[in-house]
Amino acid sequence: VAGHSVGEIAAAHVAGVLSLDDAVKLVSARAGLMQALPTGGAMVAVQAGEDEVLPYLTDGVGVAAVNGPQSVVVSGEEEAVLAVAEAFAAQGRKTSRLKVSHAFHSPLMEPMLDEFAQAIHDLTYNEPRIPIVSNLTGRLADPYTPEYWVRHVREAVRFADGVRTLHDLGVTTFVEIGPGGVLSGMAQGCLDEALTVPVLRGERPERHALVTALAQLHTYGVVVDWSVFFAGARRTELPTYAFQHERFWVDAPEAVAGTVVDPVDAEFWDTVEREDLQALAETLDIGASDTFGDVLPRLSSWRRQRKERSAVDSWRYGITWKAIPDPAPQSPACGGVWLVPVSAAHLGDDWVTACLRGLAERGLTTLPVPVEPSTDRAELTAQLAGVIGGESVAGVLSLLALDGEAAPAAAALTVGVALSVLLVQALGDAGIGAPLWCVTRNAMGVSAAETMTDPHQSQVWGLGRVAALEHARRWGGLVDLPGTVDDRIAGRLVAVFGQSAEDQVAIRDRGLFARRLSRLPAARSDRTWSPRGTVLITGGTGALGGHVARWLAGAGAEHLVLTSRRGLDAPGAAALKEELEAAGVRVTVAACDVADREALAALLAQHPVDAVVHAAGTAEAGMLAETSLGDFAATVAAKALGALHLHELLGERELDAFVLFSSISGVWGGGGQAAYSAANAFLDGLARHRRDRGLTATAVAWGPWADGGMVADTGDEERLRRRGLTTLRPDRAIAALHGALSGADGTVTVADVDWARFVVPFTVSRPSALLGDLPEVRAALAERRPAGQSAEPSALGEKLATLSEDERRRLLVDTVCAHAAAVLGHSGVTAVEPDLAFRDLGFDSLTAVELRNLLTADTGLTLPATLVFDHPTPEAVARHLGSQLAGGQGPDEVSVFGELDRLEAVIGTAATAEETVRSGVRRRLQELLTLMNAAGEQHTGVADAQRQLQDATVDDIFDLIDQDLENS
């Protein structure tokens, strides 16, 4: 793409359109006729979009250039041009008059056009060998004609359109060939994400600028032919060494990028190194008469406090939206039949119509499925099956979330959320395995400037994150669209369908954005939030609410109002009230279900509050496919409906704090927790909604608390730890809450996660771009991918086909041992003996799943999650692989573990269930183990085992594998 008019003539010569002589004639004729025109007129650059400028234009002024979304040049008669500039300057926009001899690309050019046409009429115009993006149209240039160059003199230079055209064609790197870097800066203003490199810079020597440009391109992955640059050079091998040494010393851990750095700690040691006695005395509160014996305990106490604060700060995460390049359109997404379920009340909306039209224009055959609010699961299943009529479906695009009316049978849900739940279930019931994409509208705040108008749609995002884990093979993703769907938005939407890297995206006019989890900086220490007056704590008589109440009582609250459904009849409520009152705080314990709006309104009228902590709600576990809409709504109501009532009843009242206790299940999902995830995602959305309106709000998405806060017993804590989640000590969690309130955080995630343990099982069946930018996650996934792993699933099978039976057996054994060594972290395959049991090698449930994944990638086989359980040694696994690759099939894996494979999509997620649920699962698993250890393995026993496995959660599956590894 050329940056200006003469530049396009040069580009036309390079592309073979014009010979050198004809290019010179074209430039000379153009320049000569322009110089013959009377001087005068003006050109002014204006900080505005083209559509904003057009209403100000007159017959004497026109748009000369569109250089960016907010960069336009107007040109023409001086008085008219300056009037346009003054109008925008009055609005606070920047304007800049250009130093030019003529008003180029304006009505003042018209006297030369006829003569210019005659002068260039006989030139020869060839077809371009290299595609050129036209400055005249902003699109790929049509065959050049004399009339084209005449229009080129008069009409606007559409540089911004040209850059966007290239970007839509997949171009992400722009190299500026010219005397400076002006065009590179303009191109960056047109795109959010693009690499722009100027080859020459006016202020630098040419050689230095050129080499710098090549190096920059090389570091960004652009292929540079260094053999041409280093003419005459040759490659040389690195020196070899006599011995291969292996070290067994433990290296000191290296700092991980993104780890919280404690500035106070660093400042303290800087003070010591400077020998600044006064500053050190102030830090440790040391008096002139204090001895070393007095100072040492204070130093120790200060250090412990700093370590505590550093640990708490390392738990802080937040959600960001990362600008990503538009994906190139993919052929799988550019055709086929797409079901589009939409609420019947919204089917004719302009927005919905624009979506359907945009998809159809890009080759997708859309079949709208109008769904009534009263539709149940069976009816929706039959409706979907009837629409497709046995025809193959390429995808499902749900627009159901747009319906914000209250669901008729589930008060805690909107129609859109309720129908979205039923849709996920009905698609499975109907046997439709096409990817499901759920669309919301203005439900995600990508930037601080955006306003979230409807937090209810956030529930669909929480639901979707769990659906991605439980139904990975038929899940597409979540997409948030703006309020207007135009051609560009529709194009980006279809492009998103054609890629698989991102499944939580927001599409905006300015580009595409992907949802990411990132570390937050340490909590502010220069201000401290303190409670005052009356504070309401919902769920205040429970263990979690009790921890919060004790902190508030000691921090300055005068009156605590604790609510629960049973009030003083709740276990421990009377003792908690007595304990708090002994601390000098007035305490009111009220029996109030915050999901009951009238009861809550009466309570607030009786006790006007200065702050609210909404900690009520329980985590009900259950797989989405087996959850009734009523149960789903009940779980959501406990958290979401109470929060909504508090928000509405307190209205515009100025509060010191409005704290919502959310959960990590709403941030990244959790197997068996679809309803709980939806409820917590709503709390995060409600906090954003309140802050957009200028109201106070803080939503904290907690990891599990210890000591009865969120985890039932130490057994639960150990199960979570094996999954990578360490329970939070209540005093540290309270410190994190205090930090969030002091720092005025809007939404924050607080969790102690061992990412190396957590991420591998979490991504067993589906990669997670959400977590992918965390350095610890990248490192963990890289370590679990052994060097030399085949990129082609069939490569191992093809190699085996050329070997004898003994050679095949040895290769398979070596392959299994190599992967086992990599999973266990050994430096070589000799550390794994083929006939040694996996249990004795040190395998647990997580490493067993990792080994299965690596062998799946190598062989292309669908292997059960219990591979190591079924075949307890590397040799046994190798024999099984050989049988499968030869077309055989083991008799027991298919029958007993078919249901385990069904749950494979959610293995590794940390589902935390109530103790009653866990007791039932333990009983079922004990019965299952009895059947599995029975000698006969009759058909009836196997069938019973399958039925019991259907109700097992993720944790239960892992516990089963661990138990059997111990017993094997």
Q: What is the pLDDT of residues 154-202, one digit of tens each?
A: 999 999 999 999 988 888 898 988 877 778 878 877 886 778 888 887 7
Long-range own/partner contacts, residues 305-308 (CB < 8 A, 24 or more apart): 306/262, 306/264, 306/265, 306/268, 308/732, 308/735
What does the alpha-carbon distance between residue 72 and residue 63 come to, in Å, rounded to a whole number? 7
* pLDDT reading at 393 higher than 80: yes
pTM above 0.75, yes or no: no
The confidence score (pLDDT) of residue 451 equals: 77
The confidence score (pLDDT) of residue 745 equals: 87
Report strand pairing: 534-538 vs 71-76: unpaired
Q: Residue 377: pLDDT band by 50, 70, 90 thresholds?
A: very high
Q: Residue 783: pLDDT band by 50, 70, 90 thresholds?
A: low
CATH assignment of 5-168, among 3.30.70.360, 3.40.50.170, 3.30.160.20, 3.40.366.10: 3.40.366.10
CATH assignment of 534-750, among 3.30.540.10, 3.40.50.720, 3.40.50.450, 3.30.70.2740: 3.40.50.720
Lowest mean pLDDT among 140-149, 430-439, 555-564: 140-149
Q: End-to-end alpha-carbon separation of the chain, Å?
A: 67
Q: Residue 263: pLDDT band by 50, 70, 90 thresholds?
A: low
* pLDDT reading at 349 higher than 70: yes
Per domain, the residue ranges of the chain are 5-168, 172-247, 263-313, 323-519, 534-750, 755-783, 788-967
Lowest mean pLDDT among 21-35, 341-355, 870-884, 922-936: 922-936
* Residue (of 631, 632, 519, 619) closest to 910 by Cα position: 619
The confidence score (pLDDT) of residue 291 equals: 73
Lowest mean pLDDT among 365-369, 595-599, 676-680, 798-802: 798-802
The confidence score (pLDDT) of residue 470 equals: 87
Q: Residue 941: pLDDT band by 50, 70, 90 thresholds?
A: very low
What does the alpha-carbon distance between residue 405 and residue 346 come to, in Å, rounded to a whole number? 11
Q: What is the length of the chain? A: 968
What does the alpha-carbon distance between residue 370 and residue 390 come to, in Å, rounded to a whole number? 19
What does the alpha-carbon distance between residue 868 and residue 865 come to, in Å, rounded to a whole number? 8
Q: Answer positive or negative: Cα dihedral of 287, 293, 294, 295.
A: positive
The confidence score (pLDDT) of residue 710 equals: 58
Average pLDDT over residues 341-364: 92
* pLDDT reading at 894 higher than 50: no
**Do 5-168 and 534-750 show the same overall fold?**
no
- For tokens 């940056």, name the residue: 3
Residue pair 490/321 in contact (Cβ under 8 Å)? The answer is no
Average pLDDT over residues 954-965: 52
The confidence score (pLDDT) of residue 839 equals: 80
The confidence score (pLDDT) of residue 248 equals: 53
CATH assignment of 788-967, among 3.40.640.10, 3.30.110.30, 1.10.3720.10, 1.10.1200.10: 1.10.1200.10
Q: What is the 8-class DSSP label of residue 202?
A: T
Largest CA distance in the chain: 104
Average pLDDT over residues 848-871: 78
Token pair, residue 106, equals: 């304006």
Residue pair 325/486 in contact (Cβ under 8 Å)? The answer is no
Name which CATH class applies to 323-519.
alpha beta
The confidence score (pLDDT) of residue 928 equals: 58
Q: Answer positive or negative: Cα dihedral of 942, 943, 948, 953.
A: positive
The confidence score (pLDDT) of residue 220 equals: 82
Average pLDDT over residues 223-244: 74
